Amino acid sequence: MIRIIIADDHALIREGLRKVFSREKDIELVATAKDASEAAQLCAKHDVDVFIVDFNMPGRSGLELIARLKTLRPKLAVLVLSMMPERDVAVRAFKVGAAGFVSKESASDEIVNAVRKVATGARYVSPAVAEQLAQNLDANTHDVAHDALSDRELQVVRLIASGKRTREISEQLSLSISTIATYRRRIAEKLNLRSDVEITRYAIEHNLIV
């Protein structure tokens, strides 16, 4: 029996996945979490085989959560769900320990197959991005400017592009306003951009907005 936990801040997604896995005799849904904090608590409490994580939950970034789960249980297989462009998320997710990546737009049978595969210790990535991953896993290769951003900087870019102000970003990420200002400055320098308008335009052009 494959034991799993699902972490997603959308109740409809959690319920939809619950129904999907309820039809599978070899998969048991142990618990669900609505945010990163609850996900970490459940990970510490339950010894499961696969942890399905929504990359875009509020608070702790998806990458930070993956790293936290792997710290708590090094042998845990983490399967990432995301609405973000596959290449940008998948490369970063695998580097911090994810075992698989599935787009939320994938059919339910693909998600089930992904769970079964990562539960065996193998990796899973949708065929659409397999070739892209093979070309971009080298940490020293930056094919686009935003590859040079840290995980937190990329998260801030997405929030800026979604229209959030500095104070709103600091509250959502539980960071000081001065820290967010520092991230903004670094982002502008790395992307060679001068304003939030240019950052937003860049994010739109590179499909970085959720």
Asked if 130 and 154 sit in the same domain, the reply is no
Query: Does a structural domain hold residue 210?
Result: no
pLDDT tens digits, one per residue of 69-123: 999 999 999 999 887 656 777 878 888 899 999 888 788 899 999 999 999 999 9
Asked if 27 and 128 sit in the same domain, the reply is yes
Residue given tokens 């936290």 in the structure block: 68
Q: Considering only CA atoms, which of 14, 20, 125, 48 is closest in space to residue 80?
A: 125
Domain boundary among 136, 163, 193: 136
For the ranges 26-30, 124-128, 186-190, the lowest mean pLDDT is seen at 124-128
Alpha helices in the chain (DSSP H): 11-22, 36-45, 62-72, 86-95, 108-119, 127-136, 151-161, 166-173, 177-191, 196-205
Asked if 101 and 28 sit in the same domain, the reply is yes
pLDDT tens digits, one per residue of 134-187: 665 554 555 678 878 888 888 899 889 989 999 999 988 888 999 999 999 999
Asked if 50 and 20 sit in the same domain, the reply is yes
pLDDT at 137: 55
Asked if 73 and 99 sit in the same domain, the reply is yes
Contact between residue 78 and residue 70 where contact means Cβ atoms under 8 Å apart: yes
How far apart, in whole angstroms, are the C-alpha atoms of residue 75 and residue 62? 18
Distances (CA, A) of 33 to 89, 178, 185: 21, 31, 34
What confidence category does residue 126 fall into, taking pLDDT thresholds of 50, 70 and 90?
confident
CATH number at residue 164: 1.10.10.10
Asked if 172 and 86 sit in the same domain, the reply is no
CATH number at residue 84: 3.40.50.2300
pLDDT at 104: 81
Asked if 32 and 122 sit in the same domain, the reply is yes
What confidence category does residue 206 fall into, taking pLDDT thresholds of 50, 70 and 90?
confident
In angstroms, how far is CA 79 from the centroid of its own chain? 9
Asked if 18 and 93 sit in the same domain, the reply is yes
Looking at the DSSP bridge assignments, the partners of residue 79 are 52, 100
pLDDT tens digits, one per residue of 6-59: 999 899 999 999 999 999 999 999 999 999 899 999 999 999 999 999 987 766
Query: Does a structural domain hold residue 28?
Result: yes
pLDDT at 139: 47
Asked if 132 and 158 sit in the same domain, the reply is no
The domain containing residue 157 runs over which residues?
145-205
In angstroms, how far is CA 107 from the centroid of its own chain? 19
